[in-house]
Amino acid sequence: MLLLLNSYPLLVSENMVFRSKVTTMQSNVSVMVYSLSGLDRLNEENVAAAMAVVEETGLSRILVTDAAGKVLYDTRETDSAVGKYVLYAEVVQALMGNDASSCIYQNGAFRSRASSPVLYQNQIIGAVYAYEYDTEQAALLAGLQGNLLRLSAFIGVVVLALSLFLSMALTKKIGNLLTAIRQVREGAYSHRAQVSGRDEIAQIGQEFNSLTDRLQTTENARRRFVSDASHELKTPLAAIRLLSDSILQTDNIDPETTREFVADIGQEAERLSRITEDLLRLTRLDNSILDPPVAVDVLPVLEQVMRMMSLVAQEKGVDLTYEAADGCTVLATKDEIHQVIYNLTDNAVKYSGAGGAVQVSLKAAGNQVVLSVADNGAGIPEEDLPRIFERFYRVDKARSRAAGGTGLGLSIVSDTVKRRGGTVSAANRPQGGAVFTVCWPRMEGGPA
Ligand code: ADP
């Protein structure tokens, strides 16, 4: 770029000087040829007389030769060529009847030459040759060259300083980012990259920070899950241990108490297996290990769950009713749908208690299949609603445990439904009680 800046203007101005020189020289020579044009023969005297009236043109040398190339007139006083033959290329060209001109730039000077034949009745009777040695314009050009060079040097230094500054700033930013990446890789999830500005590096930094935010959230959730899971597993294990120790360490324990303790042990073991089953189900959902979906008509599955749950509801004194429509086909598996309806209905029956009423409804609405499970129990405190689908989250731990809950039922519902592109929400009914609504994408034209 700088090279171009240096050479292009010089080349252009040199070219312009060349062209103007050639034109001026040629017009000068034409003037001289014109003043010689009345002569039928050229000799030293008549040429000198004719040339005497030609205006001073500032040329370095003017030669007039006869048709043979012998010099008749020479403006150079020392070492004059008068009487000698000259064989300059331009003179030879002129004697052959052509105009000739040239201009070169050499050693800080423009050397321009031009020549033309002198004709008398279409006969070449001689030639005029002019030569100019110009250092003035050459000095101007050299000055321009010098200025350009200084300008380029200045630009070069500024560009170098600027790129040095920029690369240092860039290196520092990348260094900061690398440090942050290493820190986070070592497990310091709370570390954030210090980035300022709006350039790409800053954007990478911001992206990295939001990535780390997510990583930290996931890591926190994972830790909480592991600690919650171990706590959940520990409780029934501790109970089993306590019960078995009691049986072993109590002397003369009566068979009735033993039977009671063993029954309790059985219940705790059952709870353990329920929790591990739920955990396994969630892990499978987390790892996206899903059976391939098929078109499932929800209605027969719902009826099956209702048949099973009505016995449980009856036992607890809960009135379980349902209404369902045809044409509710979704892409999932039968087991998943069963699990979702079962978990929600089981909760509704569990948390509405004796004298409660649970209504389940299934309908197709537009391109969705909507399942709602409503009860008239205590409902869910508003502040707990947003967290109700979290793993192990319970509003009333004691009540949930007493009811045999694992705290995982709703998160299984939520994960299962979401994996198939659906949504699930919880709300409180104005007349009291909770309502859970599941929406699946509806499959058009599925089996009725
Ligand atoms: P659990 O095994 O404890 O029932 P879930 O994940 O199924 O776990 O439910 C989480 C919590 O949500 C429950 O502990 C309970 O506090 C609350 N909950 C769920 N369903 C209902 C409902 N129908 N009415 C009131 N509270 C409910």
pTM for the full predicted model? 0.60
Per-residue pLDDT band at 238 (split at 50, 70, 90):
very high
Domain 2-134 in CATH 3.30.450.20: yes
pLDDT tens for each residue of 21-60: 899 999 989 988 888 888 888 888 888 888 887 766 778 8
**Residue 396 confidence (pLDDT):** 83
Answer yes or no: is the C-beta of 351 below 6 A from any ligand 1 atom. yes
The residue whose CA has the least distance to atom 13 of ligand 1 is 394
Answer yes or no: is the C-beta of 117 below 6 A from any ligand 1 atom. no
What average pLDDT does the segment 354-373 reach?
Answer: 95
Answer yes or no: is the C-beta of 405 below 6 A from any ligand 1 atom. yes
Domain residue spans in the chain?
Answer: 2-134, 200-285, 292-441
Per-chain mean pLDDT for the chain: 90
**Residue 448 confidence (pLDDT):** 43
Answer yes or no: is the C-beta of 125 below 6 A from any ligand 1 atom. no
- Comparing CA positions, the residue from 437, 439, 415 lying closest to residue 426 is 437
436 CA: nearest ligand 1 atom: 23
**Residue 269 confidence (pLDDT):** 94
405 CA: nearest ligand 1 atom: 2
**Residue 144 confidence (pLDDT):** 84
User: Residue 265 above 50 pLDDT?
Assistant: yes
The residue whose CA has the least distance to atom 8 of ligand 1 is 407
The residue whose CA has the least distance to atom 4 of ligand 1 is 405
Assigned CATH for 200-285: 1.10.287.130
- Comparing CA positions, the residue from 355, 343, 373, 365 lying closest to residue 437 is 373
Q: Which CATH number fits domain 292-441: 3.30.565.10, 1.20.1090.10, 3.30.499.10, 1.20.1050.40?
A: 3.30.565.10
pLDDT tens for each residue of 379-403: 999 999 999 999 889 888 777 777 7
Answer yes or no: is the C-beta of 409 below 6 A from any ligand 1 atom. yes
CA of 341 to the centre of ligand 1 (A): 14
Distance, in Å, from the CA atom of 116 to the CA atom of 81, rounded to the nearest integer, reads 18
pLDDT tens for each residue of 144-177: 888 888 988 999 999 999 999 999 988 988 998 8
**Residue 50 confidence (pLDDT):** 86
Percentage of the chain modeled with pLDDT above 70: 99
- Comparing CA positions, the residue from 49, 37, 94 lying closest to residue 73 is 49
Half-sphere exposure of 198 (CA within 13 A, CB side): 0
Q: Which residue has the higher pLDDT, 429 or 192?
A: 429
